[in-house]
Amino acid sequence: MKFGKEFATQMVPEWEEAYMNYNQLKNLVKEILIFQQRQTRSLNMMKPHSKANSLKRKGSLFRTYSGLTSRFGNASVRRDKEEEEVILTSVNADEEHGECLKYQTIFLRSSDDGGEFELVFFKRLDSEFNKVVNFYREKVEEVVKQAEELNIQMDAFIALRIKVTKSAAVTPVMERNTGEVSEQHQEIRVDDAKEHKVASLDVLNRIKLNATIETPRSTVRSVFNSLNLDLQFNKNELKEAQGKLKQAFIEFYEKLRYLKNYNFLNQLAFSKIMKKYDKIAKRNAADAYLQMVEESYLGQSDEVAKLIERAEATFIKHFCNGNRSKGMNTLRPKAKREKHRVTFFVGGFFGCVLALVVVIITDMHTKDLLNNEEKTQYMNTIFPLYSLFGFIVLHMLMYAGNVYYWARYRVNYSFIFECKPGTELGFKQVLLVSSGLSVVTLAAILANLEMDMDPNTLSYKAVTELLPLGLVIVVVLIAICPFNFFYRSTRYFLLVCIWHCICSPLYTVTLPDFFLADQFTSQVQLLRNLQFYVCYYGWGDFKKRNAQTCNDSSIYKTISIIIAVIPYWIRFLQCLRRYFEGCDSTQALNGLKYFSTIAAVVARSMYSQKQGMTLKIIAASTSGIATIFNTYWDLVKDWGLLNKNSENPWLRDKLILPERSIYFIAMVLNVILRLAWMQTVLDFQEAPSLHRNALIAIVASLEIIRRGIWNFFRLENEHLNNVGKFRAVKSVPLPFSYEDADKNL
C-alpha cells in the first residue's frame, strides 16, 4: 500500500482536517516534476548536433592540467556547499496566537528555472507544518488540564474509599507535580516507596457527589433535590464514583493514544514528502527541514508519552487490582479480526435463500395456490404473520448497506453510537444475521405450505398455524439469551436502547436511543403485525385460520391506532427531555414535528376505519402538514442540506460522497417515498390484482428503504459535526464537584 493511502486509513476521522495534507503537497511535487519533464523535452529539441559536441570535447583536451591537487580546492568545496544549500529555516513568534511559534522556510533557489513551483511548495509545506504543530499543542494543553482534573478527582476518590472501607491510610494515586512533566501541571503517576503520603480526608468536607440524571430513579429524585448530593459515605457511592472514574480514564487514555499516533504519523508524513521532493527536484533540503521538525514542539514534546505511562500504571493499580494484562486489554482493546467463516456462512445462507425462494414459487405455481379459494384466507392470516420477519430482514439489509458505506467513507459510526470498542458489527456480521433469519423464515413458510397441501398432515392444521409463533419465540429467546454467544454485547446494547425508549423520558436521551426510536417510526406496520400475533393466537383464531374476530373488534382497532402512535410519542417525549435539559429551542420544534405526525396518524387511522368526507379532509390536511414538516426537517436539520450559500449550492459546505448528484437524488427519493406512505391511509385506488395486505407490505417496505437512506445521511451529518469540533472521544461526567472555586486540596 502506498504511503498516502496508509496515511489516510490511520488518521483519526474526526481530526482529518488537522493532519498534514499529504496529497496536496504530493501534487505540488508532481507539478515540479512536470515542469522538469517539459524543460528536458525543450532542451532535447534544442540540443546541438554531434559536431558541436566534438568541438566541446576537443576544447577540453587543450585545458591546462592542474594536477591531482589544487590551491583552489578549498574554494571549490565551499562553492559546492553553497550550491547545495537550498533552504534556511527560522522560528518566529506568532503575534496572532500569542506565545505560539511560527515556523518559516526561506527557499534560496527561487531564481532557478522552475523555482516558482518549489517556492509554492515550501510555502504550503510551512502552512501545513504550523497547522499541525498548533493543533498538537492545543490538544496537549487539553489533556494536561484533564490530567489535573483527574488528579483532583482521584484524590477525592481515594479519600472516599478510605472513609467507606475505614482503612487507616492508603497511598494516594494522584499527587502534585514532581517535575517529571512540567512545572505548570499535575501528572498522573504511580507512587513508589520514596514518595508517598497519607491521603487526607479533609477533601471530603469540600466535595459533593454529581448524580447524573441517567435513570428513572435519579430523574424523579432530581425533581425534588439538587444534583449535587451530600456524601453518605456508603458503598453505592464508592461503586458509582469508581465506575465513572474508570470510564473517564479509558476515554482519557484513548485521547492520549490518538495524540501519540497523530504526532508519529505527521512526522513520518513530513519525512516522506521531503524525501520525495529531494528525489524529484534533485535537491538536498530534507535534512535541514526535518531538523526543524525534530527541534519543534512536535518533535520535542514528551508530555503525552509520560502521561500515557502514568495513566497505564494508575489504571492498572487502582481499577484492575494490579493485573496489568487485564488493564491493558481494557485500555487497548484488540482490533476485531475478520473471520473468513462469516463470509462463508453469509454466502451459504444467501444461496439457501435463493433456493428456497425458487422452491416456494414453484410449489405455489404447480399447486395453483394463487387461484385457490384459500388465497384470501392466506393473505389475511399467514401473510401478516410472516411479513413481520420480512420487515426485519429488509431493515437489517439496509443497515448492512449503511455500515458498509459508513466504513468506506470513514464515518465513525461506532463512536457515534457509543459502542464498546471492538463490539460493533460490521456489514458482514449484519448480513450473517439477516440471511440466517431469512433462511429460517423461508423454511418455515415452505413447511407451512407443504403441511397444508399434504393429506397426511391436514389433521394437524392447528399445529401448522403455530409455526410463525414458534419462530417469534425463538427469535425473542435468542435476543434475550444471557450467554456469551451470537453477538451478546450487541444484543444487550440493543435491549438497553429499547428499554430506554420504553421508559422515555425517564432516561437521559443519547443518540443511540433517539436513533432507534426513529427506526421504530418507520416500522409501524411491524408493530401492528405484532398486535395481530397477540390477537390471532390469544383469541384462538389460529385454530380455524380466521382473523374475523380481530378485524371486527373495536378494541383491536383502537389499539391499532395507539400502536401506530407509540413510536412518535416516544420521540416526542425524548425531545421534551432534551429541551428541558439543554433549553434548546430546536428540540422544542422537533417535538412539535412529532406531535404533528401523531395528529396526522390518528386522523388517517380514524379515516381508514370510518369513511367520511370530513375525516378525509382532516386526514389529508394533517398528513400534508406533517409531511412538509418532516421533509423539511429531514433535509435541513437531520441532513444539513438545502443551504443555498454553501460552497456546494443547496447542499452543505462539507460532503463525504464524491458525487454531489447523489445528495439531490436522495432528497427527491425522500420526498417521493414519504408521499408513498400516505397511500395506505388515504385509501387511494388500489391495484385490482393486488391484495390490500400485500399493498400495505409494499408501501411499508418503501418506508423502510426511505429510513435506510435517511440513516446514512443522518450519521454523515453527525460525523461532520464531530469533525468540525474535533470531537474524537466521549465526554464522561466526573463523579465529584468542589465547593471551592480553586479546587486546592
The pLDDT score that the predictor gives to residue 682 is 54
C-alpha distances out from residue 353 to 223, 285, 437, 439, 705, Å: 54, 62, 10, 5, 20
Q: Strand, coil or helix: what is 736? A: strand
The residue length of the chain stands at 745
The pLDDT score that the predictor gives to residue 251 is 92
In this predicted structure, the answer to whether residue 489 has a pLDDT above a threshold of 50 is: yes
In this predicted structure, the answer to whether residue 82 has a pLDDT above a threshold of 50 is: no
Mean pLDDT, residues 95-111 taken together: 76
C-alpha cell at 604: 388517517
DSSP assignment of 311-357 equals HHHHHHHHHSTT-HHHHHHHHSPPPPPPPHHHHHHHHHHHHHHHHHH
In this predicted structure, the answer to whether residue 134 has a pLDDT above a threshold of 90 is: yes
Mean pLDDT, residues 650-661 taken together: 92
Phi and psi angles of residue 28, each rounded to the nearest 5 degrees, phi first: -65, -35
In this predicted structure, the answer to whether residue 228 has a pLDDT above a threshold of 60 is: no
Domain coordinates in residue numbering, the chain: 139-332, 340-724
Round to whole Å and give the CA distance between 674 and 694.
Answer: 18
In this predicted structure, the answer to whether residue 55 has a pLDDT above a threshold of 50 is: no
Amino acid at 97: H
Mean pLDDT, residues 548-564 taken together: 87
The pLDDT score that the predictor gives to residue 680 is 53
The pLDDT score that the predictor gives to residue 528 is 93
Round to whole Å and give the CA distance between 575 and 719.
Answer: 21
Q: Which H or E run includes 704?
A: helix 692-724
The pLDDT score that the predictor gives to residue 225 is 58
Angle (nearest 5°) at CA 281 between 275 and 286: 30
Q: Of 236, 249, 253, give the one whose Cα is nearest residue 318.
A: 249
C-alpha cell at 189: 503517576
The pLDDT score that the predictor gives to residue 659 is 92
In percent, how much of the chain has pLDDT > 70?
82
Higher-confidence position of 432 and 70: 432
Lowest mean pLDDT among 121-130, 409-418, 454-463, 585-594: 454-463
Q: How confident is the model at residue 171 (pLDDT cuts 50, 70, 90)?
A: very low
Mean pLDDT, residues 97-122 taken together: 83
Q: Strand, coil or helix: what is 82? A: helix
DSSP assignment of 414-476 equals HHHTTPPTT-S--HHHHHHHHHHHHHHHHHHHHHHHHHHH-GGGGGGHHHHHHHHHHHHHHHH
pLDDT digits (tens, 9 = 90+) for 183-208: 334 444 434 433 334 456 777 778 88
H, E, C per residue of 587-640:
HHHHHHHHHHHHHHHHHHHHHHHCCCHHHHHHHHHHHHHHHHHHHHHHHHHHCC
Q: Which region holds residue 250: left if phi is over 0, alpha if psi is between -120 and 50, else beta?
A: alpha
The alpha carbon dihedral of 711, 716, 722, 726 has a sign of positive
In percent, how much of the chain has pLDDT > 90?
49
Phi and psi angles of residue 432, each rounded to the nearest 5 degrees, phi first: -60, -45
| Residue indicated by cell numbers 400485500 | 694
E strands, 64-219, in order: 87-93, 101-107, 174-175, 187-188, 207-210
Per-range mean pLDDT, top range of 388-402, 595-609, 642-656: 388-402
In this predicted structure, the answer to whether residue 715 has a pLDDT above a threshold of 50 is: yes
Q: Of 395, 648, 619, give the one whose Cα is nearest residue 524.
A: 395
Higher-confidence position of 244 and 457: 244
> Under 8 Å CB-to-CB from 405, ≥6 apart: which residues?
411, 712
Lowest mean pLDDT among 82-91, 126-135, 223-232, 431-440: 223-232
Q: Which residues pair with 208 in a beta bridge?
A: 737
CB neighbourhood size of 253 (10 A)? 22
Please check whether residue 105 is in contact with residue 266, taking contact to mean a CB–CB distance below 8 angstroms.
Answer: no
In this predicted structure, the answer to whether residue 744 has a pLDDT above a threshold of 70 is: no
Mean pLDDT, residues 399-418 taken together: 94
Q: Which region holds residue 260: left if phi is over 0, alpha if psi is between -120 and 50, else beta?
A: alpha
Mean pLDDT, residues 408-422 taken together: 89
Higher-confidence position of 442 and 461: 442
Mean pLDDT, residues 12-33 taken together: 93
Mean pLDDT, residues 30-43 taken together: 86
Please check whether residue 575 is in contact with residue 591, taking contact to mean a CB–CB distance below 8 angstroms.
Answer: yes
C-alpha cell at 198: 497519607
Round to whole Å and give the CA distance between 217 and 507.
Answer: 9
Preceding amide of 735 cis, omega within 30? no
Q: Which region holds residue 419: left if phi is over 0, alpha if psi is between -120 and 50, else beta?
A: beta
Q: Greatest CA separation found in the chain?
A: 120
The pLDDT score that the predictor gives to residue 223 is 61
Q: Strand, coil or helix: what is 516? A: helix
The pLDDT score that the predictor gives to residue 619 is 86
Mean pLDDT, residues 207-225 taken together: 67
Round to whole Å and give the CA distance between 579 and 11.
Answer: 35
Round to whole Å and give the CA distance between 201 and 222.
Answer: 28
Round to whole Å and give the CA distance between 578 and 420.
Answer: 24
Please check whether residue 32 is in contact with residue 117, taking contact to mean a CB–CB distance below 8 angstroms.
Answer: yes
The pLDDT score that the predictor gives to residue 232 is 73
Please check whether residue 640 is in contact with residue 663, taking contact to mean a CB–CB distance below 8 angstroms.
Answer: no
> Under 8 Å CB-to-CB from 239, ≥6 apart: which residues?
none
The pLDDT score that the predictor gives to residue 583 is 74
Please check whether residue 191 is in contact with residue 261, taking contact to mean a CB–CB distance below 8 angstroms.
Answer: no
Strands 101-107 and 87-93, sheet pairing = antiparallel
Please check whether residue 693 is in contact with residue 383, taking contact to mean a CB–CB distance below 8 angstroms.
Answer: yes
Arithmetic mean of pLDDT over the chain: 83
The alpha carbon dihedral of 438, 441, 444, 448 has a sign of negative
Q: How confident is the model at residue 688 (pLDDT cuts 50, 70, 90)?
A: low
Round to whole Å and give the CA distance between 239 and 319.
Answer: 11
In this predicted structure, the answer to whether residue 254 has a pLDDT above a threshold of 90 is: yes
The alpha carbon dihedral of 488, 493, 497, 499 has a sign of positive
In this predicted structure, the answer to whether residue 221 has a pLDDT above a threshold of 80 is: no
Lowest mean pLDDT among 108-112, 261-265, 289-293, 323-327: 108-112
Please check whether residue 641 is in contact with residue 710, taking contact to mean a CB–CB distance below 8 angstroms.
Answer: no
The pLDDT score that the predictor gives to residue 48 is 58
The torsion angle over the Cα atoms of residues 495, 501, 506 and 512, rounded to 10 degrees, is 80
The pLDDT score that the predictor gives to residue 396 is 97
The pLDDT score that the predictor gives to residue 351 is 96
Q: Of 531, 172, 520, 210, give the one whose Cα is nearest residue 318.
A: 172
The pLDDT score that the predictor gives to residue 67 is 43
